[in-house]
Structure 1
């Protein structure tokens, strides 16, 4: 649950609206949708399918708990009882105002109302509302379920508390809100995109480049820099050791040169529109829309993962939630614990078409990490110079694990003392079949001294409680055994 939000209403279920549905739903929030279009349910379900695929690839080790999805015949039915409302209807001011009137008449009085508008100012949208301060712009970027940016824009009569609350709700779903200091047509992102778009139209119009050549300049060139540093930080580096001041002194005069035609726009004639469409068809027409979306999603996942590794830019939005703390009073501590789950993505397969060997170790390692977090080994514990190392592992491969198999890991404590923990993991598929088992000996260490040391609270307390419950479970027959029955001759001693 996010910031106390249990239910979100999405009015409009197209490309952007469907992305909002996915963003909320995949973060455990119930979503009610209204869209009168006959194909709305199909579009939303297709966007959700891509979003689930992306979620499973981006967060393969996180437990999955989706919210409940419902469709409603009218606005009132969708917004009734909603904690947050997001409007994503077509860019017609009269239509948006009529939708906001219907939302205001039926939604809870304290529910924030965000608009996905890419161009209108909040003050234009708020006309006629009884409580205009609750309406603001929450402008996302496609695909909403992957791109973290959302522009938050309040009107002159905006309610600061409502904006603060909305930011908290959106940030908790993995978005990165940027609040504009004042309202302006088209906000920030689309104004920047429009500048590039205008210049690109002239380059096609004047036969300087094709649509593909322009896209290649962006994706092979400055687009890579923009993805992780933006504009000003990129130019600061371009200024060398002297920084931005030197860059401006060196390149500032170029702003007066007739390099661009940003103040002039080619007339969008049928001929120019047909030229652009034909070039775009030649560039991308061999692939379906959903295929292009999946390629886009895979590329974004790769960039986001790379940025996450360096804790940089948009990668910081992928940080995992805080590790779970101590079990709640009365929580079930009986064996086995199920603390980790994942799905087998295509890149985990070997040349036989099954999950490759080292991925089994990865799954069991992630399960061990989840167990250690469960007993309290968090960043604060490690900061005191204490940690737990795996010193021995025995894995049994029992089945051929195929792509897209959903796995969960059942964990049992086989034993522990002051310095050691002996764990047993079972990797289970959706049908309950055991795909593999792992037995692990963990050693508690003083990281500064580089040697084994006794565990401290809270590990000692939580281990004691869990071990007491797990002690009733009998150890499996294979526990403690190595590779047997091969018949190698004993090694002769010299």
Structure 2
């Protein structure tokens, strides 16, 4: 399958789509008549290149090719996915689809980023209505995985399955919406909270900052890892959701909310909201706020990934599809390629010295996996334990830079194994580590020889690697 996507509209949402696809190895063609579109998209790509790879503990695919086109025809020809992110005007979208369908592949998926329109509305004047679906993302699209995927009764059979598989390939979490409804699912929640917040400001109950504090210091954190209903299930205690509803359900009838009423957005109210917002964060530029947001989201999502919870499980599952193939073990090999994430930093903006060892430990894990030390092997039989390291720090590595680890096997006989790792950053050697490991029985927790097949493979690798000169800095571990 050709990995080419067309992006129609390269603003905040369209640009985020472009970044997501591009960094996942797709060729991206962009159509946007705005004279500043290319410059704006390049700025977003710079932020995405720092943020998205930092979520993963493996390297992402090689970037696809980005191109800008003067016509819709040039952009969509040959594309298997066409993402429309033009302004929310139904007649504009419908006219665009007519132009697209006159030239695009009939098998291509045409997806709209619309936050409000239903697929049946978008399909109104289409030549092939079943080709058009809603794929509503959340900003920043290059980080947040949720996509509300919606079809209509005219959607071609199997098209949503095909769309879902493609979205998962680029690390998204497609949420199939069961039935058409204006604003889909998530934005209906957001609108409810937004309405209530407007009343709180208008009535002088809270400022924009106080409302944001109520979210980010409290329930927003709970929602981020459990959602709404699971949070309330926990709140119900051992008796669960039924107890929660019986205890708090009657409060729904109390006159707390103005949810069905919307305050008039008078000039006075708009000025009040704008001035409060300026006081809250006007000291930062939009670019600074976006960088802050991306860093916060990356740190939170990485934390959830370690526990394979909520969005973290999506990341973990996608990361498995990006795992490197086993290289030629009979020559010094690349055992790790990844970006240095924000949480690996120190006060100088460098990679913390302990993280150098983490990178080399991850490199060892890949090598050990390739020689047969799989999770199943560890659970049932044995593993390799590090007993000594000798590290040399040779050059600084900054947060956001990409590192590559190459590994040479120096010794390997019986239960002993000696590896030499070199961390490269760009064209410089940043560090080396000589690592001495012992094979251990996971049953007795004592040192023992590995199985004959693994031992024979290691000896074969050692013999092959002996033809390569001993690396500078080797000999630091002296245990015999």
Q: TM-score range by the shorter chain?
A: over 0.9
Q: Quick check: 172-181 or 395-404, which moved more?
A: 395-404
Secondary structure of 1:178's aligned partner: strand
Change (3 A) 1:91 1:404: closer
Tell me how far apart the structure 2 counterparts of residues 107 and 458 of structure 1 sit (CA, whole Å): 54
Could you tell me whether the CA contact under 8 Å between 1:326 and 1:462 is conserved in 2?
A: no
Alignment match of 1:183 (pick from 180, 185, 189)? 180
Could you tell me whether the CA contact under 8 Å between 1:411 and 1:424 is conserved in 2?
A: yes
Q: Quick check: 237-246 or 371-380, which moved more?
A: 371-380
Deviation, 1:407, is 2.6
Quote the residue 1:153 is aligned against: 150
Tell me how far apart the structure 1 counterparts of residues 456 and 123 of structure 2 sit (CA, whole Å): 56
* Map 1:257-276 → 2, pairs under 5 A: 257-276=254-273
Tell me how far apart the structure 2 counterparts of residues 91 and 445 of structure 1 sit (CA, whole Å): 62
For each residue in 1:355-388, what CA deviation from the matched residue of structure 2 results, as whole angstroms up to 9, or x when unmatched?
A: 4322221221122122223334333333333322
TM-score by length of 2: 0.92
* Map 1:20-419 → 2, pairs under 5 A: 20-59=17-56, 61-63=58-60, 65-319=62-316, 320-322=319-321, 323-324=323-324, 326-327=326-327, 332-333=328-329, 335-344=331-340, 348=344, 350=346, 354-419=350-415
Quote the residue 1:487 is aligned against: none
Segments of structure 2 that go 5 or more residues without pairing to the other structure are: none
For each residue in 1:264-295, what CA deviation from the matched residue of structure 2 results, as whole angstroms up to 9, or x when unmatched?
A: 11111222222211211111211111111111
Tell me how far apart the structure 2 counterparts of residues 182 and 403 of structure 1 sit (CA, whole Å): 44
Deviation, 1:463, is 4.0
Secondary structure of 1:321's aligned partner: helix
**Is 1:448 the equivalent of 2:443?**
yes
Q: Quick check: 317-326 or 294-303, which moved more?
A: 317-326
Q: Quick check: 93-102 or 317-326, which moved more?
A: 317-326
Alignment match of 2:416 (pick from 414, 417, 420)? 420
Could you tell me whether the CA contact under 8 Å between 1:22 and 1:145 is conserved in 2?
A: yes
Tell me how far apart the structure 1 counterparts of residues 51 and 207 of structure 2 sit (CA, whole Å): 31
Quote the residue 1:489 is aligned against: none
Tell me how far apart the structure 2 counterparts of residues 458 and 5 of structure 1 sit (CA, whole Å): 41
Secondary structure of 2:158's aligned partner: helix
Could you tell me whether the CA contact under 8 Å between 2:381 and 2:443 is conserved in 1?
A: yes
For each residue in 1:166-208, what CA deviation from the matched residue of structure 2 results, as whole angstroms up to 9, or x when unmatched?
A: 1011112221111011111100001111111111111111111
Q: RMSD between aligned alpha carbons?
A: 2.3
Could you tell me whether the CA contact under 8 Å between 1:5 and 1:84 is conserved in 2?
A: no
Change (3 A) 1:384 1:457: farther
Q: Quick check: 116-125 or 419-428, which moved more?
A: 419-428
Deviation, 1:91, is 0.4
Secondary structure of 2:171's aligned partner: coil
Deviation, 1:71, is 1.0
Secondary structure of 1:48's aligned partner: helix
Tell me how far apart the structure 2 counterparts of residues 457 and 118 of structure 1 sit (CA, whole Å): 60
Change (3 A) 1:466 1:21: farther
Tell me how far apart the structure 1 counterparts of residues 472 and 40 of structure 2 sit (CA, whole Å): 51
Tell me how far apart the structure 2 counterparts of residues 93 and 438 of structure 1 sit (CA, whole Å): 60
Quote the residue 1:488 is aligned against: none
Could you tell me whether the CA contact under 8 Å between 1:325 and 1:373 is conserved in 2?
A: no
Tell me how far apart the structure 1 counterparts of residues 70 and 453 of structure 2 sit (CA, whole Å): 52
Deviation, 1:48, is 1.0
Could you tell me whether the CA contact under 8 Å between 1:348 and 1:356 is conserved in 2?
A: yes
Change (3 A) 1:453 1:46: same
Tell me how far apart the structure 1 counterparts of residues 294 and 131 of structure 2 sit (CA, whole Å): 33
TM-score by length of 1: 0.90
Tell me how far apart the structure 1 counterparts of residues 20 and 173 of structure 2 sit (CA, whole Å): 13
Could you tell me whether the CA contact under 8 Å between 2:380 and 2:442 is conserved in 1?
A: no
Tell me how far apart the structure 1 counterparts of residues 336 and 343 of structure 2 sit (CA, whole Å): 20
Secondary structure of 1:452's aligned partner: coil
Secondary structure of 1:393's aligned partner: strand
Change (3 A) 1:50 1:444: same
Tell me how far apart the structure 2 counterparts of residues 223 and 448 of structure 1 sit (CA, whole Å): 44
Segments of structure 1 that go 5 or more residues without pairing to the other structure are: 484-494
Deviation, 1:25, is 1.1
Deviation, 1:439, is 1.1
Deviation, 1:429, is 2.7
Quote the residue 2:468 is aligned against: 473
Could you tell me whether the CA contact under 8 Å between 1:375 and 1:458 is conserved in 2?
A: no
